[in-house]
Structure 1
Amino acid sequence: MPKRLAVFGGALFLVALSFAAESRADTISYADAVSVLAKDCGADIKKFCRGLNLGNGRIQDCLEKNAGKVSPVCTATLASVIASIQQRQAAQAAYTKVCDHDMAQYCGDVKGEGFVLACLLKTRAATRGKCGQAITDAGWR
């Protein structure tokens, strides 16, 4: 009987873990994006984009310009990284609308956007519903 209970408990834990993983954001920070691109696109960047300065989308432009020559892994990684960063930027831009009710309820007397965010992160709003998901997608936790 204890073995069955352990197996059931383990299965329940895995199910809970899978739900937690599904609710996580699929966004990426700029630092992580650079690391992922260096890993999957490093050879292509060296080959096709040598001498370019990082930033301002130059590497992205170079890889897209050479799309027919770039490795399939790099092409897929670049598309994924771009989509993830765009999702993060959209969440950062939209979080005040998504969280407006929670901001009024929990942090109504707090002034300044950064202070309001810090206040929200200390409340239940940061861990539930659309506001919590927006904060996660924005990369603020």
Structure 2
Amino acid sequence: MLKIRNLTAAVALASISFIGTASAQTLSYADAVTKLADDCGTDIQKLCKGLNLGGGRIATCLQQNSAKVSPACKGTLSTVFQSIGQRQRAQMSYEQVCQRDMTKSCSGVKGDGFVLACLMTKKRVSAECKQVITDAGWR
């Protein structure tokens, strides 16, 4: 089982460039790997047996064998990669989205972690800022 989790982790991390958008709350990386292990482990063992981890080899293998990949795995790959992409975009855009709230509510606070903690405790933070913090996985 550990081998399957390692393989699916490699798929998750190597395939981030294939990510689209999603509207639901994002999955944690640990939850994403678990979901991939549960839904794609059999496909990875059957179709990609013996491949070394890293370098996108497993993601490439699954793409090359997409006709043989189970529907459950295909759905999970899409969902997981969309969620990871959304999480990464939220983490990258957090400062821009929350800039007004940081200036208004946490202007004297120094340090990224302290500013984030300040925003999370304030009641009057914009819905957009709250959402980007949630999507980034920080709430």
- TM-score bracket, shorter-length normalisation: 0.7 to 0.9
Over 3 Å counting, the alpha-carbon distance change for 1:82 and 1:107 in structure 2 is: same
Paired residues of 1:28 and 1:81 also in contact (CA < 8 A): yes
After TM superposition, list the pairs within 5 Å mapping 1:14-93 onto structure 2: 25-54=24-53, 57-93=56-92
d(CA) in 1 for partners of 2:55, 2:121: 34
RMSD: 2.1
Q: Report deviation, 1:62.
A: 2.6
Unaligned runs of 5+ in 2: 1-22
Paired residues of 1:125 and 1:131 also in contact (CA < 8 A): no
Secondary structure of residue in 1 paired with 2:117: helix
Deviations 1:28-64 (A, max 9, x none): 1111111101111110011122344555644333322
1:137 aligns with 2:135: yes
The TM-score normalised by the length of structure 1 is 0.73
Deviations 1:53-112 (A, max 9, x none): 555644333322221111111011101111111011111111111111111111111222
Unaligned runs of 5+ in 1: 1-23
Paired residues of 1:91 and 1:137 also in contact (CA < 8 A): yes
d(CA) in 2 for partners of 1:65, 1:39: 21
Over 3 Å counting, the alpha-carbon distance change for 1:139 and 1:107 in structure 2 is: same
The TM-score normalised by the length of structure 2 is 0.74
Question: Which one has a larger percent helix, Structure 1 or Structure 2?
Answer: 1
Structure with larger Rg: 1
Over 3 Å counting, the alpha-carbon distance change for 1:71 and 1:122 in structure 2 is: same
d(CA) in 1 for partners of 2:109, 2:46: 51
